[in-house]
């Protein structure tokens, strides 16, 4: 399926591309493939939920949810007031894996390794505390 010209124009404006940059962007076949599946991301919400927490310096508790739109932007108004950057950093490869599954036409909730933990190893291993996050994808709530 070809990408509609209005989508290319939106991307040019959204990313602030010059004509030369846009020509280069359009020449990359991966960009076409991603934009063809883009609607699938727009209709999703990525959620990382705290499923275990012990001695967390940021005070994250079981049940806290870190909420991202389908393209990976943190939706600040839907998140705890404070979020540990060390936990967020661990979500980057998870969100990338979710995107790749969606692009491949696979249900992203079929991901087998859906859990990650913050960088801190916990007091037992010489750190301070530790949380474990479980990642899932939900249909976007309007």
- Please, what is the angle between helix 19-27 and helix 29-42, to 10°? 90
Predicted confidence pLDDT, tens digits, the chain (142 residues): 688 999 999 999 999 999 999 999 999 999 999 998 888 888 899 999 999 999 999 999 999 999 999 999 999 999 999 999 999 999 999 999 999 999 999 999 999 999 999 999 999 999 999 999 999 999 987 6
| pLDDT per position as a tens digit, 67-98 | 999 999 999 999 999 999 999 999 999 999 99
Q: Which of 13, 67, 1 is nearest to 39 (CA)?
A: 1
């Amino acid at each position: 399926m070809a990408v509609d010209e209005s989508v290319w124009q939106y991307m040019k404006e959204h990313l602030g591309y010059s004509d030369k940059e846009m020509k280069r962007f359009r020449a990359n076949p991966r960009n076409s493939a991603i934009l063809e599946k883009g609607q699938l991301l727009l209709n999703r919400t990525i959620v990382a939920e705290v499923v275990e927490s012990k001695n967390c310096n940021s005070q994250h508790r079981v049940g806290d949810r870190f909420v991202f739109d389908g393209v990976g932007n943190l939706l600040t108004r839907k998140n705890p007031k404070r979020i540990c950057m060390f936990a967020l950093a661990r979500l980057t490869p998870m969100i990338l894996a979710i995107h790749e599954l969606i692009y491949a036409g696979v249900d992203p909730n079929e991901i087998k390794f859906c859990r990650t933990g913050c960088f801190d190893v916990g007091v037992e291993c010489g750190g301070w505390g530790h949380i474990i996050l479980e990642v899932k994808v939900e249909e976007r709530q309007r």
